[in-house]
Amino acid sequence: MATVADVTVHEGHWIGGERISSPADFDDVSPIDGQVIARVARGGAEEAAAAVSAAERAFPAWSRTTREERARLLHAIADGVEKRLERLAIVETTDNGALLRSHLRGVMPRVAHNFRFFADWLLRLGRDDFETRGHRNHVSWDPAGVCALITPWNAPLMLATWKIAPALAAGNTVVLKPAEWSPLTASLLADITAEAGLPDGVFNVVQGYGEEVGAPLVADPRVRRISFTGSVPTARHIAAAAAPNLTPLSLELGGKSPLIVFADADLDLAVDLAVEQYDNAGQVCLAGTRLLVQEEISAEFTERFLARAAALRQGDPRDLATDIGPQIHAEHFARIDGFVRRAVEAGATPLIGGGPNTDLGGLYYRPTLFTGVAADSEIVNEEVFGPVLTLQTFRTEEQAVEMANSTEFGLAATLVTGSPESAGRVAARLVAGTVWVNCFFVRDLRAPFGGARQSGMGREGGDWSFDFYCDVKNTVFAPGGWNG
């Protein structure tokens, strides 16, 4: 047991309705001050296999529960999240360094919403029967089995429950492997599911490092679905492990998204949206890190952007007045700094930032904006996943589209324009799973979510989630009466 911000957190795995320890553990370090806040059970192949076994045993009964009962339990989990909202928020802030105000106002309420949404969607899931030469076709969604869910550290509980909620709603059992840099709210969620009455083994949590516990988990032939959010290199390892078993995958990977500002845009809005890309210290896969600004307004845009960015307050994320907190981990901090240093060596000019915040020390990295970047440079084409943006200019709509589509990623894009016609033309040509026009980060669970190219494969959300987490079946009934 660990005490984090006066909240008691179990450090063991959650397997088959029991807390399980491991022979070894690992230090969970807060990025705020570098202090060890928990010593978490370090799982391996044995724990991965035990969790899959527990999930497999629980699957037959859980898969046969009625939709109404599954929906009731998901709502009970949401109730438990809301009851503990402040505790979840402070633990996650301490664990991963994201802003407490964001956790309180948006992130943790969204966790509860994830469960409620998929509970309600389950009850309306279905399509009208249709006829083929007098035969009746009936489409159904059958639970697939054990789902292995591997989730990232930048919004640990919210991103995990985007996967957990539909997987459970579909009638599957779950083995969650949370990121080792931010595992604690997954442990708290296990307590919440038990209190809500979720049967033992339906939801399991195995903790540890990807190569030790994640690798045997995704290679287990008993796993019927794998959903992963994280880096492209890790996704390649997961896909290779899943291939011998032909396990279906849903992969939401990195991004290098463009934020395109046309000359007819509302500049105040454009600047607000651009500065918003520093949210969560830049550790957001959807962030529009490539600012593409039409030439005739680039000088004014830059001046306004620098003024707004200078007003951002960096510091302790537990302070509700803070705008930017620390990076998650020393390893990630060094990675960001490496990108910045190489960009400077390649001739890029940092208009702001360009290095660590030496006033704060630790893992605080200054918000950075580069100009003078080459189109083929690393800083333009590779995901930094930190508070680092680039600014490039374009002349024409055609050039803007060409620049926007020039990387290997295709997760999201943002357009700022005063012309509906231009917005429609450009959005239609962008390679992206999500395009925002004059807005950013509006996410409705009814909509499909995922990426193109190296940003992933598959879509989740609404019916798309159930299509992935289920075996979709069509039953064809012959016309006429029945004998007997």
Instruction: Answer whether 186's CB lies under 8 Å from 208's CB.
Output: no
User: Do 94 and 230 fall into the same domain?
Assistant: yes
User: Do 91 and 218 fall into the same domain?
Assistant: yes
Q: Can you give the CATH number for the domain in which 31 is found?
A: 3.40.605.10
Residues 59-96 pLDDT 10s: 999 999 999 999 999 999 999 999 999 999 999 999 99
The amino acid at 434: T
- On whether residue 276 sits in a domain, the answer given is yes
**Residues pairing with 453 in the sheet:** 409
Residues 101-128 pLDDT 10s: 999 999 999 999 999 999 999 999 999 9
- On whether residue 83 sits in a domain, the answer given is yes
- On whether residue 444 sits in a domain, the answer given is no
Could you tell me the strand order of the sheet in which 368-371 lies? Answer: 349-352, 368-371, 388-394, 290-294, 258-261, 412-416, 434-437
- On whether residue 330 sits in a domain, the answer given is yes
Separation of alpha carbons 158 and 355, rounded Å:
30
Instruction: Answer whether 322's CB lies under 8 Å from 341's CB.
Output: no
- On whether residue 480 sits in a domain, the answer given is no
> Which residues have CB under 8 Å from 360's CB, separation 6+?
314, 315
Number of domains the chain is built from: 2
User: How far is residue 17 from each of residues 14, 120, 255, measured CA to CA in Å?
Assistant: 6, 26, 37
Beta strands in 103-234 (DSSP E): 130-132, 135-143, 146-150, 173-177, 203-205, 223-229
- Average pLDDT of span 165-172: 98
* Residues tagged active-site: 252, 285
Residue 459 in tokens = 């879509």
User: Do 136 and 222 fall into the same domain?
Assistant: yes
Residues 304-347 pLDDT 10s: 999 999 999 999 999 999 999 999 999 999 999 999 999 999 99
* pLDDT for the residue numbered 452: 96
- On whether residue 431 sits in a domain, the answer given is yes
- On whether residue 143 sits in a domain, the answer given is yes
Q: Can you give the CATH number for the domain in which 356 is found?
A: 3.40.309.10
Residue 300 in tokens = 């004014």
Residues 439-454 pLDDT 10s: 999 999 999 999 999 9
Task: Read off the pLDDT band of 482 (50, 70, 90).
Answer: confident
Task: Read off the pLDDT band of 484 (50, 70, 90).
Answer: low
Portion of the chain with pLDDT greater than 90, in percent: 99
Instruction: Return the HEC string of 407-475.
Output: CCEECEEEEECCCHHHHHHHHHHCCCCEEEECCCCCCCCCCCECCEECCEECCECHHHHHHHHEEEEEE
Residue 4 has pLDDT above 90, yes or no: yes
Separation of alpha carbons 424 and 429, rounded Å:
9
Residues 383-430 pLDDT 10s: 999 999 999 999 999 999 999 999 999 999 999 999 999 999 999 999
Task: Read off the pLDDT band of 176 (50, 70, 90).
Answer: very high
User: Do 235 and 345 fall into the same domain?
Assistant: no
Residues 350-386 pLDDT 10s: 999 999 999 999 999 999 999 999 999 999 999 999 9
Domain housing 122 = 2-253+455-474
Residues 5-48 pLDDT 10s: 999 999 999 999 999 999 999 999 999 999 999 999 999 999 99
- On whether residue 450 sits in a domain, the answer given is no
